């Protein structure tokens, strides 16, 4: 299955992790700045005849818009998704505690892409999403994620609650976010095997998703707004987990 990668981050990420999957890469022949020059030095060596000069009209036809930064690729879709059990086993074999991000009902591709970017930065092992209530990895998600969608395992499941229970059986503690929770994200230990569960903005988690969580926490809010964008909220929680883990490892 083919996919379109848009922008420097997405294409360069694929160049690093799976260059053979890139079938054709097009660049704006009229762009002559340093960033493009650095990109072409890297791409020419790896891609050879798969690298093609193109004009603005060609790039627009490929993407349907002009927000491509002058770099577009046609690629085979990578298969990075695995099962929850495999992720837990891989983490344990690497002597680390697995960290999941579970997204319930995040249908906006910009939010989904931003969540993947945050997850990659915080060292998440996999993102778990439901099949019927989630944005899919497309060109928009790839660009917004700055290449994270090319390397972050996204596990798409038919039944989210069932998969959450499988995670719990594998020893993963599921922590959901809820504005009404009594504990804050800063009050709990995030150094063990955990999954941070986030719901859609406005609606939040579905009832069964919330009830399946082992613990509910809130993000302290000091201003007039009542909630954060889901990708920002994910970042707050995941980086608190990363902070705690780094502090524990340093002892």
pLDDT per position as a tens digit, 218-228: 999 888 777 78
Which of 3-17, 25-39, 195-209 is predicted least confidently? 3-17
Question: Where are the CATH 3.30.1330.30 domain residues in the chain?
Answer: 2-76
Burial tier of 19 (Cβ tally within 10 Å: 0-12, 13-18, 19+): middle
Cβ-contact 103, 131 below 8 angstroms? no
- The structural architecture, per CATH, of the domain 2-76 is 2-Layer Sandwich (3.30)
DSSP 58-88: HHHHHHSSS-STTEEEEEEPP-----HHHHH
Q: What is the DSSP letter of 19?
A: G
pTM over 0.85: no
pLDDT at 33 over 70: yes
In this prediction, what percent of the chain has a pLDDT beyond 90? 54
State which fold the 84-250 domain adopts. Answer: Alpha/beta knot (3.40.1280)
Return residue ranges of the chain for CATH 3.40.1280.10: 84-250
Q: How confident is the model at residue 197 (pLDDT cuts 50, 70, 90)?
A: very high
Enter the DSSP assignment of 186.
G
Decide if 55 contacts 31 (C-beta within 8 A).
Answer: no
- Give the pLDDT score at 230: 93
Q: What residues contact 159, with CB distance under 8 A and at least 6 apart?
A: 130
Q: Report the range of poorest mean pLDDT among 14-28, 118-132, 133-147, 156-170.
A: 133-147
């Amino acid at each position: 299955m083919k996919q379109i990668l848009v922008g420097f981050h997405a294409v360069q990420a694929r160049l690093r992790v799976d260059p053979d999957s890139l079938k054709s890469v097009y660049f704006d022949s009229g762009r002559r700045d340093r960033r493009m020059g650095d990109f072409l030095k890297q791409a020419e060596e790896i891609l050879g005849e798969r690298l093609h000069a193109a004009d603005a009209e060609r790039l627009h036809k490929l993407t349907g818009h002009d927000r491509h930064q002058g770099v577009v690729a046609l690629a085979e879709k990578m298969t990075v998704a695995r099962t929850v059990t495999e992720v837990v086993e891989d983490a344990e074999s690497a002597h680390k505690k697995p960290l999941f991000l579970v997204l319930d009902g995040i249908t906006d591709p910009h939010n989904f892409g931003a969540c993947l970017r945050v997850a990659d930065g915080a060292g998440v092992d996999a993102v778990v999403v439901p099949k019927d209530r989630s944005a899919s990895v497309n060109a928009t998600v790839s660009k917004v994620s700055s290449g994270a969608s090319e390397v972050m395992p996204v596990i798409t499941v038919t039944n989210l609650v069932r998969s959450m229970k499988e995670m719990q059986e594998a020893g993963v503690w599921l922590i959901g976010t809820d504005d009404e929770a009594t504990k804050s994200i800063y009050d709990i230990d995030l150094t063990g095997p955990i999954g941070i569960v986030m719901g859609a903005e406005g609606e939040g988690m579905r009832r069964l998703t919330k009830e399946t969580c082992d613990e509910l926490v809130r993000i302290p809010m000091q201003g007039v707004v009542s909630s954060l964008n889901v990708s920002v909220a994910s970042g707050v929680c995941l980086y608190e987990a990363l902070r705690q883990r780094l502090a524990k490892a340093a002892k």
